[in-house]
């Protein structure tokens, strides 16, 4: 595995190169935060900026979230496995253009969530070590995870329906409605979000359990077949709601029913804006 | 202590559709309880929160003058090209006799003591004329009239059909103790008055800055072009007053959304002089 | 007035407080420590450095019903829901959190209009502050020393609690606090040695190392006003900001709220609940005009509100340096270094 | 007293709703527990409708559309099939009994089928008891 330090060097070099040649307007990557363990998303606009780029195990942010706000600019984006899937998914959805993107692929394993101290692997949200689509690869390809990313669901799936409801009810009750999950998510780009609509008002504006439930269920649904399992929602959550579990389960359902995972191929169509006559009615049972 | 969040009940006693499009209506409200009426002691320039349970509250400038006894009036535009205005839509659906809630009066009025003895130039555009109407009615009220100098009013709207308070304008026009100048951007066959944008008319009328205060309310674009006219006429920033709008909820300086600089528009405004506004960050 | 009790008998203290009325105290669950309304004497803990969320929820709950109504054909009558009926105790507030109450008072009780819901709870709530004992080290995100708050400051508390070896010292600060301690007859008298320990701890708390820069509130206020128009600076600072509400929701001094009517069939409540100036639609007017449509404008508003506007209006910084916003920010934006950069620009 | 479930029916205008009409005009008996809302196409159904129905007190939700291939708009129900399949999985994973939600293709001529499905579904929901998990608590 290429050391993070080397990836950082290559990232700087590549960014400098791209900016110098004017091939991109800016490079979305990582910069130094208030300490080593807390890097920040960083936009390099000049080759001097590129010097400030960093990459270490705490650079977990999915930068596709920023890229989607700049659909018309020519940009470069540092992308780890799941991040590249997010870019692909956004291209599928017509939010980004492949020709406007320079994807700086970063094969990365052993990323760490600074807040929880957990290492991201297939049990959480680090199933994809290698970017699926990229223009340059800033490190050597890594062996992909051996275990299914869905194994972690076993525990919840083993519970009774009542048990699962109890689990989710407790989690939804913690929700502060800070909307960090939707704001951190590269796929949550709706404007306005259904939660911000006043007519119809889909859920209570105030943070009630019922409103929270409505918010999360609807958001899960909106991400069905689109979620690339980057885990940003879960890491962003100040009360640590394990949102990724629900997203994973829907991703698994989509794979089983429609035989397609989100953000893997540029030519795919998102599963819920597509259909097959052969889908069959069994999926409704 | 009176709970400042609890609205007082008021009855809608008259609804007037002000403009051709029907999008602006004036609601005349009378307090259900006598004590509430006494407590609701207001001056021109203040606003109130109109409350419809189940829909919410909306901050609206008071369009009537305290000299008009027995009722208060609000002119409300049905809001919402972007955000559907729940409350304003509900208000527009009200019929006479309905009971709604009101909280207030809120904010600071036009600085009447400061205006006293001065010549007043009132400049209004479109539907933002409401609290100016209140001010004018206050100033021209019998015993108040002599407290103020010359009163000039310049009021414009896009089309003749979009002018508010048409009957009142006609009455004002007949008075000899004020100069009224009503203008529309574009007239129609029936329109006999002036045509032209408010800034141009202001330039035309050229009120004298000597011992005068300009009170200006209107859409941002009108304000933007009117201010230079007044600067050219030598009005100082202290002598140009306006009223700000921000999104508000509580109306009493707690909820924080109308905060601009060290001011909470609801509590410290909405009335400001340009000099005061200059001291605030450009964030409104 | 100084009392003490063995740490092992902490449960007894809780039991006695619970018998008096509602009690908020820090509780540890699988995600960390937070203030909660206590149901069982075994729940509270004193083994924590800082709670994840701020204790403001005891006075300013995330969601609070103001008015109850039932939609009717003729007149819909609203009925104000009054504050809490029972005197409440909040135990275990760190000095910086206690300080936040005084900052919030300026807003909720000032400006000519008192907020009855805040006032009621302030009037009836006893604050038991909890000093940081010397062995508990700051965690790198906090900077309360910059705000001139000591790790063992007792001002603002009714009762001040401090760990000492195997004991818990309880000092009565206000009349209300002394009254409370007087009721708890099972407490032992503090010794002179305890007294000395307490004085030393308070003095020592002032020098507790946290992140620090020399902050002159008035100068910072002026400087930020000057920096306000520097869009490039703010755009750079807000680069990663995702405009979520985390920083404001966990902040002990953020007070912004929204009010909405929530109706289910015919019954409804007018409810106020935390809102965040970081949200896109916070200032969105019905006309469609939004004075702060961009992320950097909203971040700027938050920072300037705390370090400039509040100082200008109320004379104090609206920040206590608890570090919660920094700790929980999804993209590691740090208010401390941001303000330091702005002030030294 | 026996539990009488409240069931929300969401029926497509062209098939199921007409089928329900037919059931009515041919005087077929089916349980009165269902309240039918008509939509133009099953693909009009936003899964939030279903969550919201459960929140507002529905014990079961029955969605009816045209048979795949017979959609008035060509392919609406093909999309709906995928969406509703996801919805069903979601309810299950959230811990809501999936038996409270059912999708059926019922054509305009299948009045019998409509009555049969409603009968069957009502019985099934009755067996599951009141839906309390998502229902908004009012105390």
End-to-end CA separation in angstroms for chain C: 48
Contact call for C262 and A232, based on CB within 8 A: no
Cα A179 to Cα A173, C32, C330, C342: the distances in Å are 14, 20, 11, 28
Residue of A nearest to D78 (CA): A275
Decide if C325 contacts C252 (C-beta within 8 A). no
Task: Indicate which of A32, A34, A118, A200 best probes the interface with C, i.e. most C CBs within 10 Å of its own CB.
Answer: A34
Residue of C nearest to B85 (CA): C286
Residues of B with CB under 8 A from a CB of A: 83-84, 86
Decide if B159 contacts B127 (C-beta within 8 A). no
Report chain B's mean pLDDT, rounded to a whole number: 87
Contact call for A164 and D93, based on CB within 8 A: yes
Cα A126 to Cα A61, A77, A105, A111: the distances in Å are 12, 18, 15, 8
- Indicate whether D81 pLDDT > 60: yes
* Half-sphere exposure of residue A206: CA atoms within 13 angstroms, side-chain side: 20
Query: Within 10 Å of residue A54's Cβ, how many Cβ atoms?
Result: 20
Decide if C212 contacts C304 (C-beta within 8 A). no
Chains in touch with A (3+ beta-carbon pairs under 8 Å) read: B, C, D
Among residues A75, A84, A43, which one has the least CA distance to residue A228? A84
Chains in touch with C (3+ beta-carbon pairs under 8 Å) read: A, B, D
Query: Within 10 Å of residue C256's Cβ, how many Cβ atoms?
Result: 23
Ordered alpha helix ranges (H), chain A: 4-20, 47-50, 64-67, 81-92, 154-158, 161-174, 180-184, 209-222, 232-236, 243-258
Contact call for D47 and A250, based on CB within 8 A: no
DSSP-based three-state secondary structure for C261: strand
Among residues A119, A141, A122, which one has the least CA distance to residue A132? A141
Q: What pairing do the DSSP bridges indicate for beta strands C267-274 and C78-80?
A: unpaired
Cα A57 to Cα A142, A178, B237, C8: the distances in Å are 15, 26, 56, 42
DSSP-based three-state secondary structure for C158: coil
Query: What is the spatial distance between Cα A277 and Cα C32, in angstroms, rounded to a whole number?
Result: 50
- Indicate whether B84 pLDDT > 70: no
Query: Within 10 Å of residue C233's Cβ, how many Cβ atoms?
Result: 17
List all residues 6 or more positions away from D136 whose beta carbon is below 8 Å from its beta carbon. A210, C264, D55, D56, D57
Per-residue pLDDT of chain C (345 residues; tens, 9 = 90+): 899 999 999 999 999 999 999 999 999 998 889 999 999 999 999 988 999 999 999 999 999 999 999 998 878 888 888 766 788 999 999 999 999 999 999 999 987 788 888 888 898 899 999 998 877 777 788 899 999 998 899 999 999 999 998 899 999 999 999 999 999 999 999 899 999 999 999 988 888 888 888 889 899 999 998 899 999 999 999 999 999 999 999 999 999 999 999 888 889 999 999 999 999 888 888 777 888 889 999 999 999 999 999 999 999 999 999 999 999 999 999 999 999 999 988
Task: Measure D93 CA to nearest chain C CA, in Å.
Answer: 23
Helix H, strand E, coil C: the string for A236-278 is HCCCCCCHHHHHHHHHHHHHHHHCCCCCCCCCCCCHHHCCCHH
Look up the ipTM and state it: 0.90
- Indicate whether A160 pLDDT > 60: yes
- Indicate whether D59 pLDDT > 90: yes
Residues of A with CB under 8 A from a CB of B: 198-199
Predicted confidence (pLDDT) per residue in D109-134, tens digit: 999 999 999 999 999 999 999 999 99
Cα C204 to Cα C143, C207, C334: the distances in Å are 16, 6, 27
* Half-sphere exposure of residue D90: CA atoms within 13 angstroms, side-chain side: 23
Task: Measure A61 CA to nearest chain D CA, in Å.
Answer: 27
Decide if C160 contacts C133 (C-beta within 8 A). no
Q: Is the model more confident about B202 or about A57?
A: A57
DSSP-based three-state secondary structure for C28: strand
CB proximity under 8 Å: C 160-219 to B: none
pLDDT of residue B160: 86
Task: Measure A167 CA to nearest chain D CA, in Å.
Answer: 9
Q: What is the mean pLDDT of residues B22-29?
A: 89
Q: What token pair was written down for A207?
A: 């943070």
Ordered alpha helix ranges (H), A22-174: 47-50, 64-67, 81-92, 154-158, 161-174
Q: What is the mean pLDDT of residues A197-220?
A: 90
- Indicate whether D4 pLDDT > 90: yes
- Indicate whether B1 pLDDT > 60: no
Residue of D nearest to C269 (CA): D138
Residues of B in contact with C225 (CB under 8 A): 261, 281
If you ran DSSP here, which 8-state letter would residue A195 be given?
G
- Indicate whether B283 pLDDT > 80: no
- Indicate whether A125 pLDDT > 80: no
If you ran DSSP here, which 8-state letter would residue D68 be given?
T
This prediction has a pTM of 0.92
- Using CB atoms, pick whichever of C113, C268, C287 lies closest to residue B79: C287
Confidence bin at B81 (pLDDT 50/70/90)? low
End-to-end CA separation in angstroms for chain D: 23
List all residues 6 or more positions away from C232 whose beta carbon is below 8 Å from its beta carbon. none
| D136 and chain C in contact, CB less than 8 A | yes
Decide if B51 contacts B57 (C-beta within 8 A). yes
DSSP-based three-state secondary structure for D49: helix
Contact call for D136 and C267, based on CB within 8 A: no
- Indicate whether A192 pLDDT > 60: yes
pLDDT of residue D41: 95
Q: What token pair was written down for C287?
A: 């006309």
If you ran DSSP here, which 8-state letter would residue A112 be given?
B
Task: Measure A198 CA to nearest chain D CA, in Å.
Answer: 15
Decide if A87 contacts A96 (C-beta within 8 A). yes
| C106 and chain B in contact, CB less than 8 A | no
Among residues B80, B104, B77, B103, which one has the least CA distance to residue B91? B77
Query: What is the spatial distance between Cα C145 and Cα C209, in angstroms, rounded to a whole number?
Result: 7
DSSP-based three-state secondary structure for D50: helix
pLDDT of residue C326: 92
Q: What is the mean pLDDT of residues A141-166?
A: 90
Q: What is the mean pLDDT of residues A8-12?
A: 94
pLDDT of residue C104: 93
pLDDT of residue B231: 87
Cα C22 to Cα C125, C178, C345: the distances in Å are 10, 19, 48
Residues of B in contact with C259 (CB under 8 A): 5, 56-57, 249-250, 255
Among residues B46, B72, B41, which one has the least CA distance to residue B59? B46
Instruction: Summarize chain D as % helix, strand, coil (round to 5).
Output: 45, 15, 40
pLDDT of residue C84: 60
Environment class of residue C236 by beta-carbon count within 10 Å: exposed (0-12), middle (13-18) or buried (19+)? middle
Environment class of residue A2 by beta-carbon count within 10 Å: exposed (0-12), middle (13-18) or buried (19+)? middle
Q: What token pair was written down for C71?
A: 């939609």
- Using CB atoms, pick whichever of D79, D97, D105 lies closest to residue A161: D97
Residue of D nearest to A219 (CA): D48
Decide if C278 contacts C305 (C-beta within 8 A). no
CB proximity under 8 Å: C 253-312 to D: 264, 267
Contact call for B259 and C292, based on CB within 8 A: no
Among residues B126, B124, B149, B127, which one has the least CA distance to residue B139? B149
How far is Cα of residue C136 from the mean position of the Cα atoms in its chain?
Answer: 20
- Indicate whether A136 pLDDT > 90: yes
Decide if A46 contacts A19 (C-beta within 8 A). yes
What's phi and psi for A191, nearest 5 deg? -140, 110
- Using CB atoms, pick whichever of A159, A246, A275 lies closest to residue D82: A275
Contact call for B6 and C80, based on CB within 8 A: yes
């Amino acid at each position: 595995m290429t050391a993070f330090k080397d990836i950082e060097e290559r990232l700087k070099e590549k960014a400098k190169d791209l900016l110098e040649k004017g091939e991109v307007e800016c490079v979305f990557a990582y910069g130094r935060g208030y300490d080593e363990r807390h890097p920040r998303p960083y936009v390099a606009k000049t080759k001097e900026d590129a010097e400030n780029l960093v990459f270490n195990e705490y650079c977990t942010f999915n930068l596709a979230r920023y890229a989607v706000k700049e659909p018309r600019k020519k940009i470069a984006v540092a992308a780890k496995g799941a991040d590249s899937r997010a870019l692909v998914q956004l291209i599928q959805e017509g939010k980004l253009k492949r020709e406007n993107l320079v994807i700086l692929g970063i094969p990365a394993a052993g990323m760490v969530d600074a807040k929880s101290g957990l290492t991201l692997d297939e049990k959480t949200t680090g199933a994809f070590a290698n970017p699926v689509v990229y223009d340059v690869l800033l490190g050597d390809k890594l062996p992909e995870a051996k275990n299914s990313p869905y194994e972690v669901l076993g525990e919840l799936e083993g519970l009774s329906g009542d048990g699962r409801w109890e689990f989710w009810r407790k989690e939804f009750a913690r929700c502060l409605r800070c909307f960090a999950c939707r704001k951190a998510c590269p796929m949550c780009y709706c404007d306005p979000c259904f939660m911000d609509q006043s007519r119809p008002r889909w859920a209570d504006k105030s943070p009630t359990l019922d409103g929270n439930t409505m918010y999360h269920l609807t958001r899960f649904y909106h991400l069905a077949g689109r979620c690339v399992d980057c885990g940003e929602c879960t890491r962003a959550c100040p009360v640590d709601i394990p949102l990724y579990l629900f997203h994973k389960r829907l991703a698994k359902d989509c794979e089983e029913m429609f035989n397609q995972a989100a953000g893997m191929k540029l030519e795919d169509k998102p599963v819920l804006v597509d259909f097959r006559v052969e889908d069959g009615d069994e999926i409704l049972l | 202590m009176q709970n400042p969040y609890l609205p007082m009940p008021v009855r809608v006693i008259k609804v007037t559709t002000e403009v051709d499009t029907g999008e602006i209506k004036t609601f005349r409200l009378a307090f259900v309880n006598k004590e509430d009426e006494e407590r609701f002691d207001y001056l021109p320039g203040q606003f109130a929160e109109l409350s419809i349970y189940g829909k919410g509250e909306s901050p609206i400038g008071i369009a009537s003058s305290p000299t008009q006894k027995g009722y208060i009036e609000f002119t409300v535009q049905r809001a919402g090209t972007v955000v559907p205005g729940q409350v304003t839509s509900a208000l527009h659906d009200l019929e006479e006799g309905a009971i709604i809630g009101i909280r207030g009066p809120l904010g600071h009025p036009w600085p009447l003591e400061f205006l006293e003895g001065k010549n007043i130039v009132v400049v209004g555009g479109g539907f933002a004329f409401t609290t100016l109407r209140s001010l004018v009615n206050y100033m021209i009220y019998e015993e108040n009239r002599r407290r103020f100098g010359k009163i000039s009013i310049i009021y414009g709207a896009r089309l003749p059909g979009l002018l508010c308070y048409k009957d009142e304008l006609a009455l004002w026009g007949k008075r000899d103790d004020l100069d009224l100048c009503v203008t529309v951007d574009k007239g129609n066959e029936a329109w006999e008055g002036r045509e032209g944008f408010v800034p141009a008319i202001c330039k035309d009328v050229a009120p004298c800055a000597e011992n005068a205060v300009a009170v200006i309310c209107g859409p941002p674009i009108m304000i933007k072009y009117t201010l230079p006219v007044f600067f050219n006429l030598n009005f100082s920033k202290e002598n140009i007053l306006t009223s700000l709008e921000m999104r508000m909820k509580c109306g009493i300086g707690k909820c924080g959304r109308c905060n601009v600089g060290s001011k909470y528009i609801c509590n410290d405004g909405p009335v400001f002089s340009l000099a005061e506004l200059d001291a605030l960050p450009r964030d409104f | 007035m100084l009392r003490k009790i063995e740490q092992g008998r902490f449960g007894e203290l809780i039991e006695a407080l619970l018998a008096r009325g509602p009690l908020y105290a820090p509780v540890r669950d699988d995600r960390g420590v937070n203030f909660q309304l206590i149901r069982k004497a075994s729940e509270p803990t004193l083994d924590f450095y800082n709670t994840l969320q701020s204790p403001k929820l005891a006075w300013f709950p995330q969601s609070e019903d103001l008015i109850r109504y039932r939609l009717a054909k003729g007149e819909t009558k609203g009925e104000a829901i009054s504050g809490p009926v029972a005197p409440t105790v909040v135990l275990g507030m760190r000095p910086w959190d206690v300080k936040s109450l005084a900052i919030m008072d300026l807003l909720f009780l000032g400006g000519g209009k008192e907020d009855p819901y805040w006032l009621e709870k302030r009037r009836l709530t006893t604050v038991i502050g909890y000093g940081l004992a010397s062995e508990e080290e700051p965690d790198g995100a906090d900077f309360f020393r910059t705000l001139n708050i000591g790790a063992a400051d007792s001002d603002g508390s009714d009762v001040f609690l401090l760990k000492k070896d195997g004991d818990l010292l309880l000092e009565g600060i206000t009349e209300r606090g002394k009254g409370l301690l007087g009721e708890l007859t099972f407490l032992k008298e503090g010794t002179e040695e305890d007294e000395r320990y307490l004085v030393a701890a308070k003095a020592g708390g002032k020098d507790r190392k946290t992140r620090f820069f020399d902050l002159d509130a008035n100068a910072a206020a002026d400087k930020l006003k000057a920096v306000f128009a520097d869009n490039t600076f703010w755009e750079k600072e807000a680069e990663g900001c995702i405009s979520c509400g985390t920083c404001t929701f966990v902040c002990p001094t953020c007070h912004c709220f929204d009010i909405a009517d929530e109706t289910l069939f015919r019954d409804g409540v007018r409810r106020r609940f935390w809102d965040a100036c970081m949200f896109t639609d916070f200032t969105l007017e019905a006309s469609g005009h939004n004075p702060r449509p961009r992320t950097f404008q909203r971040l700027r508003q938050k920072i300037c509100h705390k370090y400039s506007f509040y100082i200008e209006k109320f004379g104090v910084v609206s920040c206590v340096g608890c570090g919660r916003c920094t700790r929980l920010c999804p993209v590691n934006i740090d208010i401390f270094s941001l303000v330091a950069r702005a002030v030294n620009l | 007293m026996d539990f009488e479930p409240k069931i929300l029916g969401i029926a497509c205008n062209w098939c199921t709703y007409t089928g329900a009409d037919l059931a009515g005009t041919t005087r077929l008996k089916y349980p009165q527990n269902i309240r039918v809302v008509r939509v133009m196409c099953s693909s009009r159904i936003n899964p939030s409708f279903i969550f919201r129905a459960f929140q507002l007190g529905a014990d079961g939700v029955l969605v009816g559309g045209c048979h795949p291939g017979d959609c008035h708009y060509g392919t609406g129900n093909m999309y709906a099939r995928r969406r509703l399949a996801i919805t069903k999985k979601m309810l299950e994973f959230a811990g809501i009994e999936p038996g409270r939600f059912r999708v059926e293709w019922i054509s305009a001529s299948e009045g019998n089928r409509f009555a049969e499905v409603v009968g069957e579904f009502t019985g099934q929901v009755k067996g599951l008891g009141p839906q309390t998990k998502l229902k908004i608590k009012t105390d």
